C-alpha cells in the first residue's frame, strides 16, 4: 500500500541527531530522502555509538539509528559548483531540512528566500538550538545544554542529588519528532494553498513544550517543579523496593488508588479526594515501603496488573527489548546484513502502525557518499561532469 509520503522528495542537510531523526520519520513513511554531507566532514553521528569498529568506518550505531531508507551524497556547499548542484536538487524537492548555525545558509545564498525563488512550493525547515532570531539566536547547543537551559535539568533528580540530565537525549528525539510533525503539517497546508513554507524550529521551544503542565503551574502561582526522583506527590504513584528489585506503581487517579488499597486489603486507606491523599502521604508511603518488601517485583507487577492497577518492575533496556510484547509492535527493524557492516543489527522503526501503508524500512543505512554519482546523474550531470566534481573535491 502507498505510504503517507511516497512521491515526496526530501533534502536532508542535517547532522548529529534531531535533524537526521526528523528526515528519518519521513523516510520510513515513503519519502525519497537524500542525505547531503560534506566530502571531508561526515555527519558526526557516523563515528558515534557503541561499536568502535563501525565508528571508524563512518557507520556508527548513532548513524544507523536514523539513516535507513536514505540515500547519501557528498557535496561541498562552500564551493559555487556545490551550491549550484544543491539548487538543482532543490528545484523539484518538496522539503529541505537543515540544522546549521542560523544565518549560515543565508550567507551561502542558500537561505529560504533564495531557494524559494527557485521553488516556491518548497517546505524549508531550519532546526537550531534557540531559533533563527532573538538574543540567543547565534548560540549553539546540544541536547544536554538545552536541558540545562530550559529548566528540565533542575527538576530532574532526587531531592539530594539534582540537577540531573536525562539518560536519553530525549530533547533531540522530541525535536526530530516535532519537526516531522511540522513538516507533515506544512505539506498538508501546501495541498490547500499551493504555497511552500518556512519552518523555524528551536530545540529550546521543544524542551519548553515537554514541560507544558509545569510551565502552566509556575505561571499560575510561581511554584518551581521540584526534583522528586522516583517518587510522586501521591504515594501510590511512586517507586518502591521489593524483595529483589524495584517496582513502579502507577495508581495515579482516585479509581486506581481505590483498587490498589482494596487489592492490599486496606479499605481504610481508600481516599475520596486528592487532598486526602496528600494529607496522608507519609502514612501511605510507610505502609507501601513495608508491604512491597514481601514479594518480588515480578510478583507485584503480576498482582497489580491483574487487578487493573498500573505497575511494572523496573527493567533494563535489554530486558525491555527482550519482552515478547515488543516483538508484536514492530518497533524494531532487524537487519541480517548490510553493506559496510559485518553482522546483524537492529534499529528503531516507528512508534505507531497504520492499518495500511504503515511505516517500513526498505533499504539499509547508506555508506558515506554511496549514491553521489547516481543522484547527480538523475538530475542531468554527465559522467564527465561528475568526474570533474570529484577531482575538484566538490563531491
- What pLDDT is recorded for position 285? 98
* Residues sharing a CB contact under 8 Å with residue 124, sequence separation 6 or more, in sequence order: 95, 96, 112, 115, 116, 196, 197, 198, 199
Above 90 in pLDDT, residue 68? Answer: yes
In terms of Cα–Cα distance, which of 359, 325, 281, 314 is closest to 2? 359
pLDDT of 261 reads 98
C-alpha cell at 111: 537561505
Grid coordinates belonging to 336 = 541480517
For the residues 177-198, what does the mean pLDDT come to? 98
Mean pLDDT of 129-149: 97
Using an 8 Å Cβ cutoff, are 123 and 94 in contact? yes
Residue of 12, 94, 143, 172 marked active site? 172
How far is the CA of 313 from the CAs of 262, 278, 298, in angstroms?
Answer: 21, 25, 6
pLDDT score recorded for residue 336 = 96
What does the pLDDT average to over 113-121? 98
Nearest 10 degrees: CA dihedral of 367, 372, 9, 88? Answer: 160
For the chain, helix, strand, coil in percent to 5 are: 45, 15, 45
pLDDT one-digit tens code per residue, 70-99: 999 999 999 999 999 999 999 999 999 999
The question of whether 298 is a catalytic residue gets the answer no
Burial class (CB in 10 A: 0-12, 13-18, 19+), 205: middle
pLDDT tens digits for range 305-360: 999 999 999 999 999 999 999 999 999 999 999 999 999 999 999 999 999 999 99
CA distance 323 to 277: 34
**pTM of this structure:** 0.96
* Cα–Cα separations (whole angstroms), residue 20 to 24, 207, 230, 262: 6, 18, 32, 49
Q: SS3 string of 186-221?
A: HHHHHHHHCCCEEEEEEHHHHHHHCCHHHHHHHHHH
Under 8 Å between Cβ of 182 and 250: no
**Peptide linkage before 40 cis (omega within 30 of 0):** no
**Which cell goes with 120?**
516556491
The CA distance from 277 to 354, in Å, is: 41
Assess whether pLDDT exceeds 90 at residue 197.
Answer: yes
Q: Give the Cα-Cα-Cα angle 44, 47, 52 (nearest 5 degrees).
A: 160
User: How many other CB atoms are found less than 10 A from the CB of residue 249?
Assistant: 25
More confident residue, 1 or 2: 2
CATH topology of domain 9-210+328-391: Rossmann fold (3.40.50)
Render pLDDT for 257-300 as a digit per residue (tens, 0 to 9).
Answer: 999 999 999 999 999 999 999 999 999 999 999 999 999 999 99
Q: Where are the domains of the chain?
A: 9-210+328-391, 235-314
So what's the pLDDT on residue 103? 96
Residue 1 predicted with pLDDT over 90: no
CATH of 235-314, one of 3.30.930.10, 3.30.1540.10, 3.40.47.10, 3.30.9.10: 3.30.1540.10
**Cell representation of residue 78:** 562552500
pLDDT tens per residue, range 200-209: 999 999 999 9
Residue whose C-alpha cell is 510507610: 286
- 230: part of which helix (H) or strand (E)? none
- From CA 297, how far away is CA 245, in angstroms rounded? 6
Amino acid at each position: 500500500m502507498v505510504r503517507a509520503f511516497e512521491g515526496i522528495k526530501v533534502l536532508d542537510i542535517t547532522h548529529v541527531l534531531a535533524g537526521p531523526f526528523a528526515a528519518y520519520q519521513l523516510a520510513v513513511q515513503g519519502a525519497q530522502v537524500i542525505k547531503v554531507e560534506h566530502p571531508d566532514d561526515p555527519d558526526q553521528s557516523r563515528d558515534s555509538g557503541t561499536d568502535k569498529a563501525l565508528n571508524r568506518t563512518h557507520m556508527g550505531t548513532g548513524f544507523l539509528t536514523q539513516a535507513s531508507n536514505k540515500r547519501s551524497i557528498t557535496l561541498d556547499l562552500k564551493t559555487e559548483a556545490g551550491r549550484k548542484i544543491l539548487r538543482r536538487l532543490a528545484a523539484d524537492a518538496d522539503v529541505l531540512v537543515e540544522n546549521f548555525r542560523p544565518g549560515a545558509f543565508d550567507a551561502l545564498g542558500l537561505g529560504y528566500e533564495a531557494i524559494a525563488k527557485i521553488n516556491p512550493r518548497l517546505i524549508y525547515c531550519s532546526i537550531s538550538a534557540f531559533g533563527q532570531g532573538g538574543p540567543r539566536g547565534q548560540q549553539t547547543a546540544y541536547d544536554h545544554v538545552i536541558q540545562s537551559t530550559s529548566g528540565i535539568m533542575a527538576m530532574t533528580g532526587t531531592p539530594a542529588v539534582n540537577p540531573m540530565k536525562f539518560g536519553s537525549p530525549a530533547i533531540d528525539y522530541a525535536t526530530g519528532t516535532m519537526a516531522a510533525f511540522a513538516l507533515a503539517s506544512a505539506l498538508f497546508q501546501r495541498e490547500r494553498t499551493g504555497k511552500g513554507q518556512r519552518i523555524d524550529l528551536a530545540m529550546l521551544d521543544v524542551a519548553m513544550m515537554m514541560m507544558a503542565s509545569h510551565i502552566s503551574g509556575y505561571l499560575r502561582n510561581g511554584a518551581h517543579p521540584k526534583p522528586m526522583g522516583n517518587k510522586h506527590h501521591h504515594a501510590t504513584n511512586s517507586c518502591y523496593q521489593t524483595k529483589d528489585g524495584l517496582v513502579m506503581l502507577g495508581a495515579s487517579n482516585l479509581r486506581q488508588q481505590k483498587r490498589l488499597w482494596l487489592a492490599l486489603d486496606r479499605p481504610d486507606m481508600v481516599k475520596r479526594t486528592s487532598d486526602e491523599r496528600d494529607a496522608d502521604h507519609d502514612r501511605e508511603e510507610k505502609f507501601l515501603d513495608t508491604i512491597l518488601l514481601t514479594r518480588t517485583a515480578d510478583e507485584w507487577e503480576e498482582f497489580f496488573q491483574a487487578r487493573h492497577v498500573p505497575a511494572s518492575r523496573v527493567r533494563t533496556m535489554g530486558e525491555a527489548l527482550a519482552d515478547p510484547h515488543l516483538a508484536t509492535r514492530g518497533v524494531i527493524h532487524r537487519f541480517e546484513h548490510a553493506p559496510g557492516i559485518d553482522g546483524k543489527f537492529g534499529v528503531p522503526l516507528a512508534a505507531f502502525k497504520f492499518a495500511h501503508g504503515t511505516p517500513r524500512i526498505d533499504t539499509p543505512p547508506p555508506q558515506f557518499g554511496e549514491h553521489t554519482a547516481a543522484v547527480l546523474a538523475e538530475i542531468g550531470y554527465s559522467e564527465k561532469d561528475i568526474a570533474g566534481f570529484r577531482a575538484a573535491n566538490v563531491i
